[in-house]
Structure 1
């Protein structure tokens, strides 16, 4: 009976059908939902607004006024989110952020960054890093593995007579399409545009234009096959 009630409540909150695994112990469920209740109260306090937002008390939120969110944002423990930027951070509905994840919108106070846009039903894995100085956009229904890092900014280094740290930065921005699966420990570099429906193999280093529905992997990452036609790409 209790499980059916929970299934209905969670389905209503998420806007899609949800069913608990019947093997989950009842005491585990009670502990889980008690924690969610505390995260809900903490979310209202940290963002200074009333939404269905769940933020663990150990997580740090900076420049909360620059964060726009729809319902059901979930921020797990020990996350760090700094929204200082020109455009701030926009979260869609049903976005989850795994524990120990860092989101920084500006790499320096000399020249603040652009910001981050995350669409609906996006899941960011644990221990991630998202640097949004050049602007990062993540499409709906995209999921991230653990330890994914995104860097939308590069250091200038053309002048060998000046230390690299004093040569400034350049920014192109990063776009990740809808319904993508980004594997564990993937690194995505500035200037990357990942098309819809792509799968990025674990450990890949990604830069440049990635066609929609590609499966890519390697360092640097290359197209291995296409999801829509299933043809293996012959090396050139």
Structure 2
């Protein structure tokens, strides 16, 4: 009975035929319901623009709330830090989840306002990830991002050896990730990477600037095509 009620609630929130494992105990499910209810209350009190329910975990820090827009059923898990100050802000589609202790910084320096982060529907962003969005990051719908992944859409200028690197400024190309991709754990994605739809990147890969063909499986440092799906 309890499992059926929870399944119905999840389906209403997510808008799909999500079904939890019937062997999960009632006490665990009751604790889950209580936790999610508290998270939903935090979402209501967050003053963040959102459609439907917004779930916010304990210890979440949100800066630049006026730059954040969320779809329905978005989860920002505990310990996340988000600074959304940027030209395009932070846009999270419906059913997006941010894993524990995720860090999103939309502007690297107050000298130049960053571009921001746009995430499509049904995207899972793993725990302990970092998104540096000064040059802009776009992630297509139905994409999975593993744990400990980092995105860096900014590079330091280094040409003049007579001037300290920190004083030479930065440059940006931006990062694009297509739909239905799987970015494995501990992958590093660098500025200028353009990832096609349906790509898979093996754990620990370094994705440098360049175009990655759709439905390719990539791995290594730097990431190279292993085979097509």
Q: TM-score range by the shorter chain?
A: over 0.9
1:129 CA displacement: 0.2
> Which of 56-65 and 161-170 deviates more?
56-65
Query: Are the counterparts in 1 of residues 68 and 84 from structure 2 also a CA contact under 8 Å?
Result: yes
> Aligned residue for 2:85?
84
* Unpaired stretches in structure 1, ≥5 consecutive residues: 228-236
Q: Equivalences for 1:3-152 in 2 at 5 Å?
A: 3-48=3-48, 51-152=52-153
* Unpaired stretches in structure 2, ≥5 consecutive residues: none
**Taking structure 1 as the reference length, what is the TM-score of the superposition?**
0.94
Listed one character per residue, the Cα deviations across residues 110-139 of structure 1 (whole Å, up to 9, x for unaligned) are 111000100000000000000100000000
> Matched residues in 2 for 1:43 and 1:148: separation?
26
2:69 aligned counterpart, secondary structure: strand
What count of residue pairs does the alignment treat as equivalent? 227
Query: Are the counterparts in 1 of residues 218 and 225 from structure 2 also a CA contact under 8 Å?
Result: yes
1:105 CA displacement: 0.2
> Aligned residue for 2:203?
202
**Taking structure 2 as the reference length, what is the TM-score of the superposition?**
0.97
> Aligned residue for 1:231?
none
Query: Are the counterparts in 1 of residues 2 and 26 from structure 2 also a CA contact under 8 Å?
Result: no
